C-alpha cells in the first residue's frame, strides 16, 4: 500500500510539474511527509485512509474523506475560521468527546493500550494526559501511533497530548558538560522563582516547550501561578512563592516561553511548531486553603480570605498570564482549583467549587477579564465523594447533584473540559438537560463555542497539518547537552545561602568533610498509572529502612576528602529535608471522638496548636455532623524529627568545628530549632546535590533569594491570614539577619541588588 501511494504521488508529480504542482512526498516510515514550496509541510499515515488533494498546485489532507478541500483542511485559512468550520461539522457526540480530558496515562511502550483505543474511538476523546514514559523514543513512537490511529477516525482530529510538569531534577543524578538526559533538569517552580529573574523562567519555557513537542506533548498543565500566601500548603513548592509581583512576572515569562514560536518554527501570530499551550492554574488562586489544608480532600475544601485579598491572588492571571509580552498575547487555557472560595460569590451567594461557580467563571474570568480561551476543570470534580479523606473525588458544594447534573452545571458556568473523565456519557446527558431547559438551538451553539475554543489550540500548533514526529530528532532534542547545561545553571542560580558565620564558606578544596548518614524509612511505593498528579494505586512494600549517605561518596570525593568520623573532619555537612508535616487531618482522631482536624506543623519538634482559632472560618461537609474544623490545643508530630536530631547530634560531635546544613525545601519552615547550631545554611529547591557542592566548594557563588518568608515560630504561622502575603514575623538568626522575603547572601554578605530593590 505504501509503495502504491508513493508511486502515484511520484507519477502525479511528474505529470503535473508543467501545471505548477508545488509538492512532493517522502515515506518517513511512521508516516508520509509532504513538502511544498512556500506552503505547509503535511504528515499523514498510509494506514489512515487519508488522501492528498491538490488545489492551486498545493497539497491538502482530505481528513474527512469527502473529496474536496474543506475550510478546516485549508492551511491557508485563519485558525479561527478553520475551527468554526470544523465545529459546525461535528456531531454532538464528537463535541462531547472533545470536551473530555483523560485520566492519567502511563506510556511504558509505544503501543496504544486497549483502554486508550476505547476512549479514542468510542468516546471520541482527543485530549490525553501523559504521565510516565518509557523513554523519549517510546514517547515519540507512541505519539505517532496515536496520531495515525485518530487520523483515520471521523473528521481526522489530531490528539492534543498534555503533561503535568516533568523537569524535576534527581538529587543524585550527576551533571556532565556535553551529556544527554531523558529530559533537562531544572529546579522546582519555587526554585526558579528564587532566582528572581523572569528571564530564567522564560528560558525554561522555551526549552521545555521544545522538549514537550519532541515528545508529542502540545499542552502543558502548568504553570501553577497560585499566590502561596498560606505557608503550610502542600503545593507551595509548585508555585512562584507568596509575592504577587514576583509571581506575576514569573507567570508571564513562563507562558511566553512555552507558547511563543520564532523564526522557521512560527506559523502565525507567534504560534507554531515550538509552541505548547499553557494551562494556567488554579483560578482564582488556590493558595489560601484554611490552615494550609489542600482541596484534593474534603477536609481541605475551603479557601478563606480573612484579609480580603482575593485581588492579589488573581493578579498573576490578570496582569501576568493574560498580558504577555509575546505575540500569543494570552494563555490559552485556565484550570480552576478544587476549593470553595468561601464568601466570594456575592451575586448568587453560592459556596461551590471554583469550577462550578458561574460567578467566578462567567462573570469574573470571562466577563470582567475577557478570557475567551479554554476552561478545564481539575481532575475528578464530577465524581462522588465517599469519605472526608478520600483523594481526588472533589465535587465540593455540589455533592447533592448527580454526575450528569454536575457536568451540566459546569457547562452553564462557562467550563469547556472535564478533567479526568474518559466517558462521554455524562456529557451527552448534560447536553439533553440543556436542550430540555434552553432549547436545542441554544445548547448546540453553546457546545460549538466550546469546540471552537478547543480546536483553536490544535490548529495554531500545526497539528492538523503534521502531528508526526521524527524519532531521531526527538532523541537529539530531548535532554540535549545545551538544554541540560541551561537547567543546571538555573539550579545553581536558585540556591539560597541564608547564613555564613565567619565566612566559613566556601570550603577549601579537598577539605576533610564529615557527612552523617541519614535514615531512609521503609515506604510504600505505588504502581499502575502513577505519575505527576496521578492518584496512587496498589501499594507495593519497599525494602526495610536503612542508613545511607545522602550524597554518593564518589560525588563527594570530587570536591572534598570524605572522612568517616567527626574527629577526623575539618567541617561537617548535614543534608536534610524540610519538616514532613502531614495533611491536617487524621482518622485516628475521629476514632478517639475528635473531629479529625489536626495542625500542620512547619517545625521538626512535636507541635501543640495553642494559638489556633477557637472556631474555623469555614467548614461543613455532607459527611460531617459539624461545621467547626478547629484543631486548637491538639498536638502533631512530624515524620522526620530524626533529621533535626541529626543536625544537633552533629553539632555536638563537631565541637567548635564548623557545621554546614543544607536543606531541601518545599515550603517555609521554622528555623529556630537548629539555626544557632549551624555555621552556614543553604536552601535547595529540588536541585541536584552536585549543584549544592559546586556552591559549597566555591566553584559558584550563591545568588538566590528567598521567594517566601521564614516564620519566627508556629505562633506567627497560626496568626497570619491565609490570603495575605508577607504577614509573618520572620526568624532573626544569630548574626542578626532576618529571613524575610528576598533575603539571601553571597560571599560578600547580604545581597542588596536591583532584584531586591524591585521586588522587596
Neighbours of 67 (CB within 10 A): 8
Alpha-carbon span 712 to 623, nearest angstrom? 37
**Cα(288)–Cα(282) distance, rounded to whole angstroms?**
11
Contact between 551 and 172 (Cβ < 8 Å): yes
- Please, what is the Cα angle at 110 between 104 and 113, to 5 degrees? 55
Whether 85 is catalytic? no
Beta bridge partners of 681: 499, 661
* Contact partners, residue 592, CB within 8 Å, separation at least 6: none
Q: Are 98 and 451 in contact (CB under 8 A)?
A: yes
Sign of CA dihedral 275, 276, 282, 287: negative
Give the count of alpha carbons within 13 A of 637, CB side only.
4
Distance CA(686)–CA(194), nearest Å, equals: 12
Residue 281 host element (H or E): strand 277-283
Strand 546-548 vs strand 518-520: parallel, antiparallel, or unpaired? antiparallel
Q: Which of 62, 226, 378, 416 is catalytic?
A: 378
Helix axes 244-259, 198-214, angle to 10 degrees: 30
> What single string gives the DSSP state of each residue in 689-726?
HHHHHHHHTTSS------SS--BSSHHHHHHS-TT-TT
Query: 245 an active-site residue?
Result: no
How far does Cα 306 stand from its chain's mean position? 28
d(CA 336, CA 450): 16
CA angle 155, 77, 129 (to 5 degrees): 45
What phi and psi values does residue 684 have, to the nearest 5 degrees? Answer: -120, 140
Give the whole-angstrom CA distance, residue 70 versus residue 80: 14
Q: What is the C-alpha separation between 374 and 332, in angstroms, rounded?
A: 6
**Torsional sign, CA 653, 657, 659, 660:** negative
Q: Exactly one of 243, 249, 416, 470 is catalytic; name it.
A: 243
How far is 754 from 748, CA to CA, in rounded Å?
A: 16
In this structure, are residues 498 and 681 in contact, taking their beta carbons and an 8 Å threshold? yes
Element (H, E) at 23: strand 23-27
Write the burial class of residue 378 (CB in 10 Å: 0-12 exposed, 13-18 middle, 19+ buried): buried
- Torsions phi, psi of 351, nearest 5? -110, 85
Q: What is the rounded CA–CA span in Å between residue 404 and residue 573?
A: 57
Q: Where in the sequence numbering do the catalytic residues fall? A: 243, 378
Amino acid at each position: 500500500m505504501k509503495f502504491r501511494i508513493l508511486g502515484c504521488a511520484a507519477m502525479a508529480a511528474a505529470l503535473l510539474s508543467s501545471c505548477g504542482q508545488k509538492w512532493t512526498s517522502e515515506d518517513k516510515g511512521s508516516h508520509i511527509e509532504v513538502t511544498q514550496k512556500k506552503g505547509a509541510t503535511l504528515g499523514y499515515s498510509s494506514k489512515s485512509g487519508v488522501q492528498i488533494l491538490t488545489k492551486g498546485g498545493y497539497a491538502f489532507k482530505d481528513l474527512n474523506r469527502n473529496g474536496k478541500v474543506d475550510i478546516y483542511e485549508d492551511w491557508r485559512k485563519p485558525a479561527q475560521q478553520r475551527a468554526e468550520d470544523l465545529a459546525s461539522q461535528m456531531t454532538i457526540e464528537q463535541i462531547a468527546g472533545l470536551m473530555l480530558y483523560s485520566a492519567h496515562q502511563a506510556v511504558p511502550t509505544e503501543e496504544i493500550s486497549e483502554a486508550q483505543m476505547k476512549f479514542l474511538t468510542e468516546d471520541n476523546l482527543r485530549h490525553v494526559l501523559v504521565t510516565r514514559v518509557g523513554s523519549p523514543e517510546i514517547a515519540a513512537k507512541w505519539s505517532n501511533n496515536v496520531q495515525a490511529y485518530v487520523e483515520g477516525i471521523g473528521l481526522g482530529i489530531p490528539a492534543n497530548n498534555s503533561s503535568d510538569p516533568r523537569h524535576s531534577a534527581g538529587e543524585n543524578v550527576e551533571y556532565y558538560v556535553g551529556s544527554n538526559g531523558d529530559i533537562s533538569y531544572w529546579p522546582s517552580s519555587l526554585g526558579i522563582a528564587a532566582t528572581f529573574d523572569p528571564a530564567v523562567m522564560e528560558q525554561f519555557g522555551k526549552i521545555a516547550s521544545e522538549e514537550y513537542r519532541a515528545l508529542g506533548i502540545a499542552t502543558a498543565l502548568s504553570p501553577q501561578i497560585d499566590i502561596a500566601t498560606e505557608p503550610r500548603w502542600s503545593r507551595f513548592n509548585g508555585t512562584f512563592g507568596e509575592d504577587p509581583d514576583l509571581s506575576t512576572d514569573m507567570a508571564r515569562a513562563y507562558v511566553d516561553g512555552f507558547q511563543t514560536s520564532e523564526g522557521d518554527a512560527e506559523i502565525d501570530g507567534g504560534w507554531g511548531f515550538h509552541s505548547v499551550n499553557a494551562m494556567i492554574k488554579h483560578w482564582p488562586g488556590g493558595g489560601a486553603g484554611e490552615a494550609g489544608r489542600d482541596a484534593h480532600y474534603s477536609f481541605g475544601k475551603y479557601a478563606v480570605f480573612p484579609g480580603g485579598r482575593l485581588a492579589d491572588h488573581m493578579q498573576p492571571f490578570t496582569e501576568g498570564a493574560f498580558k504577555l509580552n509575546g505575540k500569543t498575547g494570552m494563555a490559552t487555557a485556565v484550570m480552576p482549583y478544587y476549593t470553595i472560595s468561601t464568601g466570594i460569590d456575592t451575586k448568587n451567594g453560592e459556596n461551590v467549587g471554583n469550577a462550578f461557580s458561574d460567578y467566578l467563571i462567567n462573570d469574573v474570568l470571562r466577563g470582567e477579564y475577557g478570557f475567551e480561551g479554554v476552561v478545564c476543570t481539575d481532575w475528578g470534580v464530577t465524581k462522588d465523594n465517599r469519605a472526608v479523606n478520600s483523594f481526588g473525588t472533589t465535587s465540593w458544594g455540589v455533592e447533592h447533584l448527580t454526575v450528569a447534573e454536575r457536568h451540566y452545571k459546569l457547562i452553564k458556568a462557562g467550563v469547556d473540559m472535564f478533567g479526568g473523565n474518559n466517558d462521554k456519557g455524562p456529557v451527552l446527558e448534560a447536553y439533553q438537560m440543556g436542550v430540555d431547559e434552553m432549547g436545542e438551538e441554544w445548547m448546540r451553539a453553546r457546545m460549538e463555542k466550546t469546540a471552537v475554543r478547543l480546536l483553536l489550540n490544535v490548529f495554531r500548533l500545526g497539528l492538523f497539518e503534521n502531528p508526526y514526529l521524527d524519532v531521531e530528532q526527538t532523541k537529539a532534542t530531548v535532554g540535549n547537552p545545551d538544554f541540560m547545561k541551561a537547567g543546571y545553571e538555573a539550579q545553581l542560580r536558585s540556591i539560597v545561602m541564608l547564613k555564613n558565620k565567619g565566612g566559613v564558606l566556601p570550603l577549601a578544596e579537598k577539605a576533610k568533610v564529615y557527612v552523617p548518614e541519614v535514615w531512609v524509612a521503609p515506604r510504600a511505593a505505588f504502581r499502575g498509572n502513577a505519575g505527576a498528579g496521578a492518584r496512587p494505586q496498589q501499594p507495593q512494600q519497599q525494602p526495610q529502612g536503612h542508613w545511607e549517605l545522602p550524597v554518593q561518596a564518589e560525588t563527594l570525593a570530587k570536591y572534598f576528602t570524605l572522612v568517616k568520623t567527626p574527629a577526623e573532619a575539618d567541617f561537617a555537612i548535614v543534608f536534610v529535608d524540610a519538616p514532613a508535616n502531614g495533611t491536617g487531618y487524621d482518622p485516628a482522631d475521629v476514632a478517639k471522638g475528635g473531629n479529625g482536624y489536626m495542625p500542620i506543623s512547619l517545625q521538626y519538634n512535636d507541635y501543640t496548636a495553642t494559638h489556633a482559632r477557637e472556631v474555623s472560618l469555614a467548614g461543613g461537609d455532607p459527611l460531617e455532623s459539624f461545621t467547626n474544623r478547629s484543631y486548637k490545643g491538639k498536638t502533631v508530630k512530624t515524620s522526620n524529627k530524626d533529621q533535626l536530631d541529626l543536625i544537633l547530634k552533629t553539632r555536638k560531635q563537631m565541637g567548635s568545628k564548623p557545621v554546614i546544613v543544607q536543606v531541601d525545601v518545599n515550603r517555609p519552615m521554622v528555623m529556630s530549632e537548629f539555626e544557632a547550631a549551624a555555621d552556614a545554611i543553604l536552601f535547595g529547591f529540588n536541585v541536584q546535590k552536585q549543584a549544592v557542592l559546586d556552591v559549597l566548594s566555591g566553584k559558584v557563588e550563591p545568588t538566590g533569594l528567598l521567594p517566601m518568608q521564614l516564620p519566627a515560630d508556629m505562633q506567627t504561622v497560626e496568626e497570619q491570614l491565609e490570603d495575605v502575603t508577607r504577614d509573618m514575623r520572620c526568624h532573626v538568626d544569630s548574626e542578626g539577619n532576618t529571613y524575610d522575603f528576598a533575603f539571601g547572601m553571597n560571599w560578600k554578605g547580604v545581597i542588596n541588588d536591583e532584584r531586591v530593590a524591585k521586588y522587596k
